[in-house]
Amino acid sequence: MPQDVTNSPKLKLVMLFNARNQTYCICSHNLTAEEASQELDRLRRDRLPAFTVEQCSRHRAKDADGCWECRADVAHAIDPVRSHSGAETRSGDRQF
């Protein structure tokens, strides 16, 4: 039975971004804002380029890096940036 997410807290995913080759990987998903903030702080203390993205809904996959819903949320989040900058879409599953 699908969960009603209208009253649930906004969930976030945490990702690492490699600006040099325009790739990313998902570290974790289905996090509360507080959990995401803690993970972001931990990764950034280690000088890793970590970012959060708001999820559209709870993701079903257990493994965040292989989650197609995470990739869709990241693509949705960067679409305005890509359209505004005029950047071309690169091929590849996890490239910007």
Q: If DSSP states are collapsed to H, E and C, what string results for 67-79?
A: CHHHHHHHHHHHH
Q: Give me the average pLDDT of each 10-residue run along the chain (96 residues).
A: 55 94 94 97 96 95 93 87 50 46
- How far is 25 from 27, CA to CA, in rounded Å? 6
The model's pTM? 0.74
**CB crowding 19-28: b at 16 or more within 10 Å, else e:** eeeeebebbb
> Tell me, what's the pLDDT at 39?
97
DSSP state of 89: P
Residue ranges per structural domain of the chain? 12-85
Question: Over the stretch 69-88, which tens digit does the pLDDT of each residue have?
Answer: 999 999 998 876 555 555 44
